[in-house]
Amino acid sequence: MATTNLNIRTDKEIKDQAERIFLELGLNKTTAINIFLRTTIRENGIPFALKLDGPNEITAAAIEEGRRIASDSSVKGYNTIDELKAAMEEV
């Protein structure tokens, strides 16, 4: 099998962190990248899920609650941190 060079650019800290993990796994960078490439071929695609991060159910509910509170004129609001602190001392 003929070999070829593969040149990539990445952030130094990312490279260093990955190499530390590879070392703990008993792999060098070349072997780890070859594992990724071979798995890509075997699975006929990227060997892990690619998805956009979205808020989970709890975070989505909190965002919705914040929007509801922000648009509710009956909810007391504060313009400064001092106003908020004063209100909390009253409780």
Where are the domains positioned within the chain?
12-43, 57-90
pLDDT averaged per 10 residues in sequence order, the chain, 91 residues = 93 96 96 97 93 87 93 88 90 75
User: For position 45, what pLDDT does the model report?
Assistant: 96
User: For position 73, what pLDDT does the model report?
Assistant: 87
**Overall pTM > 0.85:** no
d(CA 22, CA 27): 5
